[in-house]
Amino acid sequence: MNLKKFILMAGTILSVLSACGKAEESDGGNGKNVAFELTARISDGSSRSWGDGDKVRVWHRVSGSETYTDDGIFTLKDASKGVFAGTLASGLSSKKSYDWKVVFPVDATLGTDYLVQKGYGSMDHLKGGSFPMEGRQESVSGEQAPSLSMKAGFITVEVKVTNKGMYDVPFSSAKVGSTTVFVRDPEVVKVGGSASIFVPLMPSEIQGGKVAYAVNGTVSSAELTAEAGSNATITYDYSTHRTEVNDARVYSGSRYSTFTSMVHFGKKYYVAFRESDTEHCHHSAADMKEKAYIVICSSEDGVKWSKELTIVNDRYDLHDPQLIVAPKEDKVLCFQGTTTPGDGAMRDPATAVSTLVLGEDGKLTETSTVAVDMGKKSCYWLWGLTTHGDWYYGVGYYYYDQGKPTLFRSKDGVKFEEVSEFTVEGNEASPCFIGERLYVFFRSIQTMDCFVTYADAPYTDWKTKTYGFTMHSPKAVAIWDRIYVAMRYNMYSNAICCYDPQTEQFKHIHTTFTNTASTDVGYPGLIIHDGAMHVSWYAAEKYLDKSPDIFYQSIGLGKIYNLTLSAF
């Protein structure tokens, strides 16, 4: 080969080698899909250690960039040193620095979409070894393998509510990212006060420095930059309050749908009611073709409702469901009056209770139905219920007006002990606590008028006052040191009245439904949740309508407060 040809060939080879070098560097000095090892050291302060078969998920990005590349799953290679081996999804350049992120387990989540906090400020629900771990290391040269410190894989976010409004406000739940935390015994945040709920957040849920959150269901977003194992605070100010009114139809069927009850449990609102094939007032069921049963509908937003569960008793016709969330908030109890079809009489047991829990599909599941034990008064109908501390309290009466209405209490919701008899002649009732004082709202058997009786512990010395309006099926809830009662009001409407314990005044403030053509309306459910008062009821919209529907309305607490000021 002559010198000229050699020089030309050498130049060509050098050009090719130079081009290959640039291509290799642009792809990453280590190439793509090549074996890679990194070290993940557990340093979360727990006794956890790596074991055979452990796997982590790995991500990397060029330092300063916005997004990570998912490198997939790495498997433990050396447990003593915490070395994991896997394959990179994209190569590294020796001229760049990289940020690394490792999460354990590979599909790390918080393990649940909601948690329960014992009280304002409590962090007990964040303890334990069931939460994931995460490790981060930034600005690592492309020539080096990262060594990450694995610690608690979530950010502890304090959602702090401050109340600069005109009146006390409820604060029962906070959601950050995909996790909601409920307060087990929520009270109210006083004017000028504050309260906190602590929510665990996976760092991966922070997108672009922002995270979605909600207070009592009111959705917002906040700027947040934090790493796993750190603390962050989101402050929400109750300077304005909901005033809107929303209506919905819960259920429309071809049979009689009557007698509603309502709770909020987990992530849903639930409305229970009785469905039968004949007019609702035939408690004896003597002319029924089929036994009546209990239907429960659910909704996450109060707008779209669907049928979720039916409770059927092989022996009894069922009446007037009463839903109540257990004190530990781990289940819902559904109490129902029972009748033996065809014999025209109320037989033992006069009350049954079904235990309802959330199934794996997130829907209510009936785990058991048993007779309520009230001792010698087990033939009573346990009609009105509430909880106070660890106790269930209920007011029972005998359907054929024999015996006096009685206050019962129970630890398990099945076996009830008698507390005291009432001196008044009433049947449909709703107990409600303000502090340790118990108020009971009754419908008079003789006149159908409303009367209120109250007593302090041990709830034996009752003081009573009668009010001159007709009230059926009261349902009471307390807020702002007042008691709000939903009822069939003066026969024709479903309404909310407010009772002021200080003055003993009782005034109508709001009507959810009026029907002057028929009295077939009423029997409401009533709860306070997410900054609003929620009411359910049944109503026949036309004269002699034989298939009443189930309705729902939410009224913002701001509107309720303004209506109360106007009434008093």
pLDDT digits (tens, 9 = 90+) for 447-494: 778 899 999 999 999 999 999 888 999 999 998 889 999 999 877 789
From the list 265, 351, 335, 191, the residue with the least C-alpha distance to 527 is 265
- In this prediction, residue 519 carries a pLDDT of 64
- The DSSP-derived string for 509-544 is EEEEEE-SS-S-EEEEEEEEETTEEEEEEEE--STT
Start-to-end CA distance of the chain, whole Å, equals 112
Q: Which two tokens stand for residue 29?
A: 């000095």
Low-confidence ranges of the chain (pLDDT < 70): 1-32, 128-129, 166, 239-241, 278-290, 340-349, 399-403, 516-519, 542-546
Contact 270, 323 (CB under 8 A): yes
Q: Which two tokens stand for residue 225?
A: 């930059």
Q: Which two tokens stand for residue 456?
A: 């302090």
For the stretch 324-329, contacts whose Cβ atoms lie closer than 8 Å and that sit 24 or more positions apart, written own/partner, are 324/263, 324/385, 324/386, 324/387, 324/392, 324/413, 325/263, 325/264, 325/265, 325/387, 326/387, 326/413, 327/387, 327/389, 327/390, 327/391, 327/392, 328/184, 329/116, 329/182, 329/184, 329/265
pTM of the model: 0.66
- In this prediction, residue 313 carries a pLDDT of 84
| CATH numbers and ranges of domains, the chain | 31-111+125-151 (2.60.40), 155-237 (2.60.40), 245-567 (2.120.10.10)
From the list 30, 11, 31, 7, the residue with the least C-alpha distance to 19 is 11
Read off the amino acid at residue 399: Y
Reading phi first (left if > 0) and then psi (alpha if -120 to 50, else beta), residue 344 is in left
- In this prediction, residue 235 carries a pLDDT of 93
Residue written as tokens 């306070």? 528
